[in-house]
Chains A and B, each alone.
Chain A
């Protein structure tokens, strides 16, 4: 650091504390603003994460493989062989952390009282477990023991509507590849509860081997779900799976499978930036006022420094540095406050009072604020860049003061 830069740095720091009350008030304002930016972002991020994760729970895995016609006609006709060869090799190595092949067909479930159209999932519990695609909570009975388990697991809401209960028998009906009705009676071995009540009514779990046998499809499956942990990183590893699957299978990421969820994610990043800019614009009035007052009070001093030979550019640098110190201290306070207040809430905020409404947006009854370091970084960049821009005008005016007039200012 040159001598001029050093003296400017010392002057900026000491001037900051000349009117310490004003500085503290401004620090409080910046700190609170930064906290608000990060806190609101964490709520929005938590909400979006949850919507995406709930969405992914319905279509588990960040990447899915299907028969090319399955999405248009999700019937048993459009099944595919169990994975093998290159695809199996790709599924068994990092970054893939979990994968499961399942049978997923439309079906009708009937109790002795009522019947409903559902999506029948033939699963292998040991493969689904790491995918996180199993029901959130078994409220009665148990989940399926393995792929050969002959029972079924229903959602609590569906069980209510079918007027059935644990231990009772239900009949599941679907079509085999020859378009004949395939059905079997199964005992209800478990009742589950899902974050979204709509899921409870839609999905019925059965053993994969049992469904394959009922439908007469051998070891064929409807879909392969694959996960590598972070749904935001899917674009990095999906191409390897696409290459391994070959041209006869359709490989889609969750963003292709659910465009709404993908756009929510993009919107969230956009909203976060807009929120930060708006909060800062409010703050910037205070910042500009503080700096303008500081310049106004020190006109003679600035004139003196110019008279003694300090170039206007150094005056500008000094005032911007003063502003930067203020912004950095405010940022430190705001980030610390955000960390202290958000971390304890990451275990979840009960929003059951408004959960009915939120469910329409794919939300559950608990909101999990997510403190993301990129939000902290974004708020830091927004505050510093916009803060320095806002400070530029008063600093520029100070640098352009006429030394004679400034020295004569009373």
Chain B
């Protein structure tokens, strides 16, 4: 079953007089439970493709389907609902809400979804323990290290049990050890929960974790190959 289907996606940006190609007829199908890395140099279209898959950005043309839902035909509010209920996001900068504690950040999506307080608190504490942050539930983001903040962001992304997690350069601001821990966590969640992961990165060590590597250049898909995953420790 396909988790994501992209068909002939095109997207351009205007920067002053210049027109920049973000996506150029990109077609791609990702099955449920896959662990995919989008790779390529800066400006290759990784983030643009990820944003389109997450309903954050609308393609100029082409079709994009997540689960059973065509995203390119939906309005802002409907896209927000899809993001809320079906997709987990992990961003490059940790992007936590600074006035909320780690637990409250994790609860945030569930709270907007309307999950009862006791249930979401239980889930948040479970997930925080799962990402190795037991005992830090009450800390504000400013009281956590970069790696810990990114773990909270991951916990927030998976707490509501989405079918799909999209991560944009999740290790870019992390040291090697924290990056390895995070990627191990992603692999575990993919294997144990069957969550589909699509990760954009230009870090070759991160690409090593993927079972499928999609390469982009100048907005075009230049290769899409399965690979044998290995960990950072394995180099």
Using a CB–CB distance below 8 Å, which chain A residues touch chain B?
Answer: 2-4, 6-7, 10-11, 14-15, 18, 300-301, 304-314, 403-404, 407
Contact = CB atoms under 8 A, between A and B. Distances in A.
B155 to A, nearest CB: 13
A307 B112 CA distance: 13
B113 A11 contact: no
A2 B114 contact: yes
Given A300-B95, A407-B95, A307 B111 contact: no
Interface of B: 51, 54, 56-57, 76-77, 80-85, 87, 89, 91, 93, 95, 97-100, 104, 107-117, 120, 156
A309 B95 contact: no
A3 B97 contact: no
A308 B99 contact: no
Given A4-B112, A309-B83, A309-B85, 4 more contacts: A7-B104, A10-B100, A310-B112, A311-B76
Contacts of B56: 307, 403-404, 407
Contacts of A311: 76-77, 80-81
A309 B88 CA distance: 10
Nearest to B83: A309
B113 A308 contact: no
B114 A312 contact: no
A14 B81 CA distance: 25
Contact of A308 (B89, B98, B104): B89
B145 to A, nearest CB: 20
A237 to B, nearest CB: 55
Contact of A309 (B51, B109, B115, B116): B109
15 contacts: A3-B110, A3-B116, A6-B111, A7-B108, A10-B104, A11-B100, A14-B100, A15-B99, A300-B95, A307-B54, A308-B109, A308-B156, A311-B77, A314-B112, A404-B56
Contacts of A403: 56
Contacts of A14: 99-100
B110 to A, nearest CB: 7
A310 B114 contact: no
B98 A3 contact: no
A310 B110 CA distance: 11
Contact of A4 (B82, B91, B98, B114): B114
A4 B83 CA distance: 15
**B76, B87, B113, B120 interface centre (most CB from chain A within 10 Å):** B76
A407 B50 CA distance: 14
Contacts of B109: 308-309
A312 B77 contact: yes
Contacts of A301: 97-98
A310 B109 CA distance: 8
Contacts of A3: 110-117, 120
B97 A304 contact: yes
A305 B57 contact: no
**A3, A4, A312 interface centre (most CB from chain B within 10 Å):** A3
B231 to A, nearest CB: 29
**A15, A308, A312, A314 interface centre (most CB from chain B within 10 Å):** A308
A10 B97 CA distance: 12
Contact of A312 (B80, B82, B84, B89): B80
Nearest to A308: B109
B99 A18 contact: yes
B15 to A, nearest CB: 13
A309 B84 contact: yes
Nearest to A306: B80
Given A11-B100, A312-B76, A404 B112 contact: no
Nearest to A16: B99
A306 B82 CA distance: 11
Nearest to A410: B93
Contacts of A307: 54, 56, 83, 89, 91
A14 B108 CA distance: 14
Given A311-B81, A403-B56, A404-B56, A7 B99 contact: no
B51 A404 contact: yes
Contacts of B91: 304, 307, 407
A314 B91 CA distance: 22
A6 B82 CA distance: 21
A404 B108 contact: no
B224 to A, nearest CB: 24
B51 to A, nearest CB: 5
B167 to A, nearest CB: 13
Nearest to B109: A308
Contacts of B93: 300
A40 to B, nearest CB: 38
A18 B110 CA distance: 24
A311 B77 CA distance: 6
A14 B56 CA distance: 27
A6 B121 CA distance: 14
B142 to A, nearest CB: 11
B42 to A, nearest CB: 13
A352 to B, nearest CB: 56
**B83, B99, B113, B116 interface centre (most CB from chain A within 10 Å):** B99
Contacts of B114: 2-4
Given A308-B89, A309-B83, A7 B77 contact: no
Contacts of A312: 76-77, 80
Contacts of B99: 11, 14-15, 18
Nearest to B86: A309
A301 B91 CA distance: 12
A326 to B, nearest CB: 16
Contacts of B108: 7, 308
